Amino acid sequence: MTSDKVTPSDLRASKARGERIASLTAYDYPMTRLLDECGVPLLLVGDSLGMVVLGYPDTTHVTMAEMEHHVRAAARARPRALLAADLPYHSYETPEAAVAHALRLVAAGAEAVKAEGGREILAQVRAITGAGIPFIGHLGMLPQHVLEEGGYRIKGRKEAEREALLADARALADAGAFAIVLELVAPAVAREISEGIAIPTIGIGSGPDCDGQILVTHDLLGTFPWFTPKFVKRELNASEQMRTAVTRWKQAVEVPAGKTL
Ligand code: KIV
């Protein structure tokens, strides 16, 4: 990739060249700027911010106003990376609602939007891409459906699920999606989908054979230590470093140098 702004076509071209795509979540100005300085080409203002920033139990509580607030903050970093944002829960029930909310995210600074689902949201996907807004699909475990599903579990182990995932992926690609996130998809099925469509798959907990990988940055860096998904290999234990630094500083304030209690 060049030093120019990353576009959906660049990401498709990466797949065509067999180059893997690294992607991370970013919810605010400093993190977007830092990850962009590291050259990560695809940044997502994910509704996972509901859990790791806002303290909600799951993503179903995240509002449109909260997404817009975080997209504006991330966009102020003016990243070279493509900045995508999640359409929050219940914001894309109809094609009209999907376009209206996608346009609000674009007005806030998003350059692409992502929504969860396959053939059941195809009319919405066509409406979004028809409005000229780049779209990323999301298949497999759908966090916005966690309450109906009763938890986070791997998809694609049953033959019917495998067939449905493959059909959904093809339908999203045909409807104009430029990439698809595969979350908690059985690795063999994630590989089959990746080999079967021209647009890149970006995996999370779906094995090594996707065209790219995405993680929640807080999981990668250890800034949300109270829960880390099993598939994450943490690269940093930032919460421990923060605790050590704050404790050291607090002790220095409470017991100034040269004084003993
Ligand atoms: O909300 C999110 O951060 C996501 C990614 C983890 C794929 O959807």
Output the CA angle 63-45-21, nearest 5 degrees.
150
CA of 23 to the centre of ligand 1 (A): 10
CA distances (Å), origin 139, targets 22, 62, 203, 226, 236:
18, 19, 10, 26, 28
Closest CA to 109 of 137, 136, 131, 77: 77
Q: How confident is the model at residue 22 (pLDDT cuts 50, 70, 90)?
A: very high
Tell the residue nearest (CA) to atom 4 of ligand 1: 46
Give the nearest ligand 1 atom to 114 CA.
Answer: 8
CA of 187 to the centre of ligand 1 (A): 18
Task: Work out the average pLDDT over 123-148.
Answer: 96
- Tell the residue number behind the tokens 């996608």, with chain if given: 102
Tell the residue nearest (CA) to atom 5 of ligand 1: 46
Give the nearest ligand 1 atom to 202 CA.
Answer: 7
Is residue 50's pLDDT more than 60? yes
Task: For residue 117, list its beta bridge partners.
Answer: 138
Q: What is the pLDDT of residues 187-242, one digit of tens each?
A: 999 999 999 999 999 999 999 999 999 999 999 999 999 999 999 999 999 999 99
Of 1-10, 78-87, 98-107, minimum mean pLDDT range: 1-10
Using only C-alpha atoms, the chain has a radius of gyration, in whole angstroms, of 19
Give the nearest ligand 1 atom to 215 CA.
Answer: 6
Q: What is the pLDDT of residues 138-175, one digit of tens each?
A: 999 999 999 988 888 999 999 999 999 999 999 999 99
b/e per residue 34-70 (b: at least 16 CB within 10 A): ebbeeebbbbbbbbbbbbbbeeeebbbebebebbbbb
- Tell the residue number behind the tokens 């690795």, with chain if given: 187
* pLDDT for residue 258: 75
Q: How confident is the model at residue 2 (pLDDT cuts 50, 70, 90)?
A: low
Give the nearest ligand 1 atom to 48 CA.
Answer: 1
Tell the residue nearest (CA) to atom 3 of ligand 1: 46
Neighbouring C-beta atoms of residue 73, cutoff 10 Å: 19
Tell the residue nearest (CA) to atom 2 of ligand 1: 46
Please count the residues of the chain.
261
Closest CA to 134 of 116, 167, 117, 110: 110
Q: What is the pLDDT of residues 103-122, one digit of tens each?
A: 999 999 999 999 999 999 99
CA of 116 to the centre of ligand 1 (A): 10
Q: State both tokens at 82.
A: 């493509």
Task: Work out the average pLDDT over 123-128.
Answer: 98
- CA pair distance 64, 121, nearest whole angstrom: 19
Q: How confident is the model at residue 29 (pLDDT cuts 50, 70, 90)?
A: very high
Q: What is the pLDDT of residues 57-81, one digit of tens each?
A: 999 999 999 999 999 999 999 999 9
Average pLDDT value over all residues in the chain: 96
Task: Tell me if the pTM is above 0.75.
Answer: yes
Task: Work out the average pLDDT over 3-24.
Answer: 96
CA of 247 to the centre of ligand 1 (A): 32
Task: Work out the average pLDDT over 19-38.
Answer: 98
CB 77 within 8 A of CB 94: no
Q: Indicate the burial class of 28 (C-beta count within 10 angstroms; 0-12, 13-18, 19 or more).
A: middle
Closest CA to 172 of 210, 215, 211, 123: 123
Q: Indicate the burial class of 250 (C-beta count within 10 angstroms; 0-12, 13-18, 19 or more).
A: exposed
Q: What residue ranges line ligand 1, CB within 6 angstroms?
A: 25, 44, 46-48, 86, 181, 183, 204, 214, 216
What is the distance, to the nearest Å, from the Cα of residue 38 to the centroid of all Cα atoms in its chain?
17
Catalytic positions, written as ranges? 183
* pLDDT for residue 242: 98
